[in-house]
Structure 1
């Protein structure tokens, strides 16, 4: 997008075209105006339109321009936070409510993809959280026990079974989650947009919001080309928030994340990597993940930005990493590469914010946006429709707070990822 091959890489090359949209021109009215055409905003628009509400989405660039079009495409249940830690942070009411909602969230993604016939490479075959060393295996064992007490049928696999299921060498075991799977993330965002338009929603791209304010008749949201008046306002921007929504970006610490992809592998090689589908990622602090797309390309991702010195360092690391995990591939070259930003909150939990009367938003996905964004969008729609209230939402309302040393921490993450991905020279 924007003539930048490293913004969306493989996903832009392989996604079906986005549905036709237009730039906002003139003044219009709606029941709800939604800022941001990522998973949350598009899901909210879809569910509102399906219920008969007039929903207008304003997107600064293109559908899925932010993290929704750049991520790994892992449709996971839950969050990075351990289940019991989540309950300890949010309390038993919100904690258990959120765990139940996000445990079922992947099913919602795959059901929507099937119902609306989205061409988004939906693969509901589970994911593998892979243990690096004994400490990684211990972490997964604790995670499995906690999920088990909550009724989730996740399975701790041995080293041998992990290698057979993933094809990857060097892991001590893995936690298999059958609730999860993979998707082509940009194609899914475009699919949600097409479904929302089909139900009656309107999406205006190239329509960056310049201001929003509430008057006696409701909200007025302005762009350079026009305005939307509505009783409800949903701010569905996240790590790429800018302009009047920049405070949402400021409460997050950005973690850079990149991907590389190979050319399609031969049929014989494809059978040796994730032969049953799904995806894998590891327990390292600077984690990495791997998956295949529908054409058999191997996609590997990790922390880091493909710019300046980082581009060469991370590309070289990716080649070494792939040789270690999948030595059967031999020498490989990359067909595409891309990177983006993950918005991290201090406790790694998303945030529900109220911006005034009938103005809400959920953000702070911490690298888990596909399934949570989809169901949070639905829950925001339910709030607008009067099917629930703020106290009945899956998250408590919180204030916007800017974390300390945000810019310093972001620079540290980018440089630290480069240092971590430098080759280790034997003494």
Structure 2
């Protein structure tokens, strides 16, 4: 995509080819125009196109260029915030509605993958939230209690059961969520786009929006070689928002996240590591994650950017993490590395904005974009065509609120990750 092996890494190499798209080079009209070809934008356009709505996507670079093509590929339910805290933050009406909405998020992913036969290495086998030490296990026990009280299919595992199911003794326990699973994230994004195009949607790539003009009862979005006029506009750019709609960008702090992929492991070795093929992330403040791809590559990630001094620091951490968690593959070389950016909000919750008359945005996924982005796109499509009302909104519309010292906080994330990953070498 960028002629940079660290932009999309393994996912670019192993994903099926993207559907054929072209640059917007003329003026046109549509019912809805969507900016951004990530999960939210692609889910929105797919569900609109399925109902015969004339919808257009404008993407600045390529399908899945942002977080959709770079993340680890964990299809999780919910957000980082525990259910009871979410209700306290949003109130019982929107809080409970959002919990139910996000809990159903993975099912929408599995449904789309099944209906359209998307080849994205989908494994609906659950994910593990792995507990580090007594504090981590206590956190998971509380999460389990809160989710179980709402009927969620989660199971708290003790150290012995965790070791048997994860192939490591590194964790005090784990929370297994059977709603969840893993996908090849870029392949899923491309599959969404292909399905949308098959239903009549128009997707234009290498077509950044450079201008937004009020025109009668609608809007005209200008690109370098063309424009689209529509009464309704959805911005689905999240952490990759450019110069337009800076209000979206200013309300987030940007967290870098990297991944390393090992070479393919022999079957007998892979069976000793995550035999059920679940994905994993842990309870560390600077968390780590890992999962297998279809070819038995273990993909290991954590907070940080693979640039400048961070490259060597995070490479060293990844090697030590393998040795600690799965010593049987401590010397296996990494064959791919890449990183991207996560947009974090101050309360770790997503946002729904009415940015102007007829202009909307869902954003702020805080590293949980696959299932929530798919679900919000599905909802947005129904809401835009009048099949859902404001009373059904899973989030109360708000105005973007800038985060103070956002640039300094973003730099602190990277500096803090480097300090933690360097300190890990001394433990």
Question: How does the TM-score come out when normalised to structure 2?
Answer: 0.98
Aligned residue for 1:280, secondary structure, equals strand
Give RMSD over aligned pairs.
Answer: 1.1
Instruction: Check conservation: 1:130, 1:174, Cα contact below 8 A.
Output: yes
Between the aligned partners of 1:285 and 1:393, the Cα distance in structure 2 is 32
Secondary structure of residue in 2 paired with 1:265: coil
SS, match of residue 404 in structure 1 = coil
SS of 1:394's partner is coil
Residue 425 of structure 1 deviates from its aligned partner by: 6.3
- Structure 1 unmatched ranges of 5 or more: none
Instruction: Spell out, residue by residue over 1:96-141, the C-alpha distance to the aligned partner (whole angstroms, 9 max, x if none).
Output: 1111111111011011011101110000000000010000000000
Q: How does 1:10-409 map to 2 (within 5 A)?
A: 10-409=10-409
Conservation of the 8 A alpha-carbon contact between 2:7 and 2:70:
yes
Kindly indicate whether the alpha-carbon contact (under 8 Å) linking 1:23 and 1:207 is maintained by their aligned counterparts in 2: yes
The CA deviation at 1:215 is 2.5
Q: 1:407 to 1:267 in 2, by over 3 A?
A: same
1:418 aligns to 2:407 (yes or no)? no
What is the deviation of 1:318? 0.4
- Equivalent residues of 2:355, 2:399 under 8 A apart: no
C-alpha separation in 1, matches of 2:49 and 2:411? 41
Change (3 A) 1:81 1:425: closer
Q: Provide Cα deviations, 1:165-202, integer angstroms capped at 9, x if missing partner.
A: 11122100000000000000000000000000001100
Shift of residue 423 of structure 1? Answer: 4.6
Q: Tell me by how many angstroms 1:284 deviates.
A: 0.5
Compare 350-359 and 70-79 and name the one that shifted more.
350-359
Do the aligned partners of residues 426 and 49 (structure 1) sit closer, same or farther apart at CA in structure 2, a change above 3 Å counting? closer
Structure 2: state its 5+ residue gaps.
none
For residue 122 of structure 1, give the secondary structure of its aligned residue in structure 2. Answer: coil
Task: Kindly state the Cα deviation for residue 246 of structure 1 after the two structures are TM-superposed.
Answer: 2.8
SS state at 1:111 partner? helix
1:232-282, Cα deviation, whole Å (9 max, x unpaired): 111111101002133212210001100000000001111011111211111
Q: Which moved more, 1:387-396 or 1:51-60?
A: 387-396
Partners of 2:12 and 2:186 within 8 A in 1:
yes
Distance of 2:351 and 2:104 partners within structure 1: 19
How far did residue 389 of structure 1 move? Answer: 2.6
Structure 1 residues 189 and 424, CA gap change in structure 2 (3 angstroms): closer
The answer to whether the 8 A contact 1:390-1:397 is kept is no
Query: Are 1:39 and 1:369, in contact at CA under 8 Å, matched by a contact in 2?
Result: yes
Q: Distance in 1 between matches of 2:397 and 2:168?
A: 42
